[in-house]
């Protein structure tokens, strides 16, 4: 089905099931422990052996020799895989780093061997016997030093320019020119990267934890040099991903190689240090922002430059994306530069581009408002735009940034904020409020599904869409229930299997809207099949309460399948709508903090997010997505940082003891408001995404609140007490 214009009559708009805050249908399986995650496929892959990955002990160089003799003779060892015996391996299009290193080493903890043994303990013990002699080479590990040699990346639009930015900025009455830094971040999801592989002849089945089934199936087949149809991926439950499980990773490839060598199923899970150094992370950025404005607060010039690093052939952190679209200004410039760094691969993490970009831009907006002596909320409203600032002829399909800011200011009690920093105290605590706009583009992807109807009236949905803890099972069930006119307990949802139709997958905030639109398309085809079977006009048929009505007939839905199961399959595609309309999601974050005037300890006290993100398919699961994103934003603001050893080229704090993330005690009162909005230009569901919008702007709102509390402006994340103490107001 091709989606080009809004439907005039749309069964989804009945909203009998869609749009309601229903409990997660996968909740009972997860809370009782009966939901099988990738590493737990005991029955599907019986008699599995265990693989343990050996990571490279240096960041850049070559393996001179690798001694595996003692390893092969160790108790329980079945097979040992290395570059020497793995055979020729291709390289999938989605990965920057090679998944099995040797003799060249690309980054620290690059996988160089897999030891397969009867038990996990035997595999781990034998892996510790691997002896490697390296030839070390000089690498680049410091973004500040590599910045000077950064080049224009090979991306679709690294630089943009509208008007004459240089002249407008130089002539502006009020200007800001500031540099901001964001550190490397880890996805730090709960479930490790894990896979179980099993071969039957030349056919491979891989149970894995992966967000994008079809991408990974193709890359695995290409890497192994086998036909894509010989690979089956299964990933029904995923314990968090945040972008870290978008692509084929080393544990999946090595499980497949290990199982082929052992001639039995092999399971592999990465340890936490290997997750952080072997897989992907959010790259650090250096961002320079320049804003020029008239004295009454109108932006006349805005420029945003960003530098990040990655392995050779990698991609930049495109932190300027939101600046191209968020605020008005006749004269504009954005510039993206990429340096070569020999650190573990940088890649997508929740809201790549916008999340770190807004960490800088929204502090800059706060600083500019301060220079102009204009309220930060008012300053943002003053510079709103209804058209794409780089393409004035293209309007936004929906843009309610002003509504988000005004609604948030009213609900949060923004009027009580003291505009002069450091003036509100509660004993030894300095109290401040901060605000930031939220922005994330609305992406849509082709997505397919298959619908089955049986003689009991049960509707089964099959799609390779994944659920990474986001609620995909539930919103897909709600969509099918609405379209087919049945209760949600009459819907069975089967996800995460490459034998099912290819979906959008979970990533880029496109999953919910795109996947449900694919289910919608398949349900439209099923409605047509049912109507034809029952001798009804499909255009007139109403599906409600488990029955079909048309032309004076009222027939149970199940009757259409009495002669055999009905099956319908279709996908949703999206024409050129993105050329006609700019589709984005908007929000506003408000935060109150307390900073100890003696120690600099910062405590977030309350948070509010207001989101305009199209139709909210399930307010309960959507709220969970947003408060989770807000929590991640809190971590980015105050604690999260992968510390780089610039001598050895690795992340020092590569476990959950050293990489600090928020815990329950850090998370305050959180409130989420969804504006009542539908976007008929987005999809037949009239929805958008919200899971990444929730993180965008949060860190800046916290940094701005810290400034309001203390008068100390921190431009380098995380905002830790060592960056505050020397400049804190004197205690009275």
Task: Give the active site residues.
Answer: 692
Q: Could you give the CA distance from residue 305 to residue 320 in angstroms, rounded to a whole number? A: 7
Smallest CA-to-CA distance from 210 within 466, 540, 512 is with: 466
Q: Which string of DSSP letters, residue by residue, matches 444-459?
A: ---EEEEEEE-TT--E
Smallest CA-to-CA distance from 710 within 598, 612, 582 is with: 598
Q: CB pairs under 8 A, 24+ apart, for 30-33? A: 30/237
Please enumerate in sequence order all residues whose Cβ is within 8 A of that of 155, keeping only pairs 6 or more positions apart, or say none.
315, 316, 318, 336
Q: Which string of DSSP letters, residue by residue, matches 385-418?
A: -SEETTEEEEEBS---HHHHHHHHHHHHTGGG--
Q: Which string of DSSP letters, residue by residue, matches 687-718?
A: B---TTTTTTTHHHHHHHHHHHHHS----BSS
Beta strands in 616-732 (DSSP E): 644-645, 650-651, 669-674
CB atoms within 10 A of CB 421: 18
Please report which helix (H) or strand (E) contains residue 523, including its range. helix 511-533
Please enumerate in sequence order all residues whose Cβ is within 8 A of that of 248, keeping only pairs 6 or more positions apart, or say none.
92, 94, 95, 99, 210, 215, 216, 219, 220, 223
Provide the phi-psi class of 371: left if phi over 0, else alpha when psi is between -120 and 50, else beta. alpha
- Answer whether 1's CB lies under 8 Å from 483's CB: no
Provide Rg for the chain, Cα atoms.
Answer: 27
CA angle 373, 292, 390 (to 5 degrees): 125
Q: What are phi and psi of 567, to 5 degrees?
A: -130, 135
For residue 267 the two structure tokens come to 């399971």
Print burial letters for 103-121: b (CB count within 10 Å at least 16), e (below 16).
eebbbbbbbbbbbbbeeee
- Answer whether 283's CB lies under 8 Å from 309's CB: yes
């Amino acid at each position: 089905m091709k989606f080009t214009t809004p439907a005039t009559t749309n069964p989804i708009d009945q909203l009998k099931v869609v749009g309601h805050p229903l409990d997660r249908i996968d909740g009972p399986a997860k809370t009782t422990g009966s939901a099988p995650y990738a590493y737990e496929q005991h029955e599907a892959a019986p008699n599995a052996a265990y693989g343990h990955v050996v990571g490279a002990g240096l960041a850049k160089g070559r393996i001179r020799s690798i001694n595996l003799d003692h390893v092969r003779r160790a108790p329980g060892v079945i097979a040992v895989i290395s570059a020497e015996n793995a055979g020729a391996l291709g390289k999938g299009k989605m990965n920057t780093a090679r998944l099995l290193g040797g003799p060249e080493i690309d980054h620290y903890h690059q996988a160089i061997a897999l030891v397969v043994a009867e038990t996990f303990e035997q595999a781990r013990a034998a892996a510790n016997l691997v002896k490697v002699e390296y030839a070390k080479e000089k690498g680049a590990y410091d973004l500040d030093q590599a910045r000077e040699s950064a080049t224009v990346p090979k991306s679709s639009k690294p630089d943009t320019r509208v008007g004459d930015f240089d002249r407008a900025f130089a002539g502006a009455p009020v200007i800001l020119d500031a540099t901001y830094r964001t550190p490397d971040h880890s996805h730090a999801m709960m479930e490790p990267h894990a896979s179980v592989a099993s071969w039957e002849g030349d056919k491979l089945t891989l149970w894995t934890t992966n967000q994008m089934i079809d991408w990974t199936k193709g890359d695995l087949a290409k890497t192994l040099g086998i036909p894509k149809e010989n690979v089956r991926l299964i990933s029904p439950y995923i314990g968090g991903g945040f972008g870290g499980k978008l692509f084929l990773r080393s544990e999946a490839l090595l499980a497949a190689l290990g199982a082929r060598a052992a001639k039995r199923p092999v399971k592999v899970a990465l340890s936490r240090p290997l997750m952080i150094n072997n897989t992907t992370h959010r790259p650090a950025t250096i961002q320079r922002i320049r804003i020029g404005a008239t004295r009454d607060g109108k932006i006349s010039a805005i420029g945003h430059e960003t530098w990040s690093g990655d392995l050779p052939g990698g991609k930049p952190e495109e932190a300027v994306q939101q600046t191209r679209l968020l605020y008005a200004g006749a004269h504009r410039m954005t510039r993206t530069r990429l340096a070569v760094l020999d650190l573990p691969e940088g890649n997508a993490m929740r809201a790549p581009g916008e999340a770190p970009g807004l960490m800088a831009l929204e502090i800059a907006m706060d600083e500019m408002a301060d220079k102009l002596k204009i309220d930060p909320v008012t300053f943002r409203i003053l510079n709103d735009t209804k058209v794409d600032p780089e393409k004035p002829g293209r309007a936004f399909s929906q843009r309610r940034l002003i509504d988000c800011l005004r609604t948030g200011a009213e609900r949060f009690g923004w009027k009580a904020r003291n505009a002069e920093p450091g003036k509100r105290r509660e004993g030894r605590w300095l109290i401040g409020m901060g605000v930031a706009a939220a922005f994330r583009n609305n992406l849509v992807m082709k997505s397919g599904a298959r619908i089955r109807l049986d003689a009991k009236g049960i509707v089964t949905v099959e799609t390779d869409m994944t659920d990474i803890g986001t609620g995909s099972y539930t919103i897909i069930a709600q969509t099918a229930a609405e379209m087919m006119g049945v209760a949600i307990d009459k819907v069975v949802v089967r996800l995460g299997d490459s034998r099912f139709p290819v979906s959008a997958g979970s990533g880029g905030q496109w999953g919910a809207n795109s996947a449900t639109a694919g289910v919608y398309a398949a349900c439209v085809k099923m409605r047509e099949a049912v109507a034809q079977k029952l001798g009804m006009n499909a255009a007139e048929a109403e599906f409600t309460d488990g029955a079909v009505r048309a032309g004076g007939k009222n027939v149970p839905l199940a009757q259409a399948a009495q002669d055999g199961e009905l099956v319908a399959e279709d996908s949703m595609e999206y024409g050129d709508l993105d050329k006609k309309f700019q589709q984005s999601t908007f929000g506003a974050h408000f935060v109150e903090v307390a900073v100890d005037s003696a120690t600099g300890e910062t405590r977030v006290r309350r948070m509010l997010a207001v989101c305009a993100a199209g139709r909210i398919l399930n307010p309960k699961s959507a709220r969970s997505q947003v408060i989770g994103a807000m929590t991640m934003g809190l971590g980015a603001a105050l604690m999260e940082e992968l510390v780089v050893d610039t001598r050895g080229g690795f992340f020092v704090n590569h476990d959950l003891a050293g990489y600090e993330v928020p815990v329950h005690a850090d998370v305050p009162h959180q409130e989420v408001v969804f504006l009542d909005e539908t976007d008929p230009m987005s999809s037949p569901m009239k929805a958008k995404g919200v899971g990444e919008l929730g993180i965008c702007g949060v860190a800046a709102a916290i940094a701005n609140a810290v400034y309001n509390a203390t008068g100390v402006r921190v431009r380098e994340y995380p905002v830790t007490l060592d960056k505050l103490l020397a400049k804190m107001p004197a205690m009275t």
